[in-house]
Amino acid sequence: MNKPQKKDFIKPKHINDYPVGPQFEAGHLADINAGWRTVRPVVDHEACIFCLRCYIVCPDGTIFKDGDKIGIDYDYCKGCGVCAHECPKDAISMIKEEL
């Protein structure tokens, strides 16, 4: 699986240790951030044609390739619905989150 992993943030000790500009080391996830999600995407793998449009448009990078299927990292998915909106086969449904 090729997705970012959670890393502990280590506060820089000196101003020169901060990155220049708005960037940070790739693959850095500060914490699980899906606690306020009210709906979540669910993939119908029978309808999915593996076009990977959802993978490309996901603003949080939570969709990943899992062999010949797609997977969703629900720890980081915010439930925005962009993936479901962009799916050409309506293979992704937004389902109400259960507590």
Render pLDDT for 34-89 as a digit per residue (tens, 0 to 9): 678 899 999 999 999 999 999 999 988 899 999 999 999 998 899 999 999 999 99
Note whether 88 and 18 are within 8 A (CB).
Answer: no
Residue spans of the domains in the chain: they are 5-96
Note whether 3 and 74 are within 8 A (CB).
Answer: no
pLDDT at 28: 57
Write down how long the chain is: 99
CATH number, domain 5-96: 3.30.70.20
pLDDT in tens, 12-30: 888 887 766 655 555 555 5
Q: Where are the alpha helices (DSSP H) in 11-96?
A: 53-57, 82-86
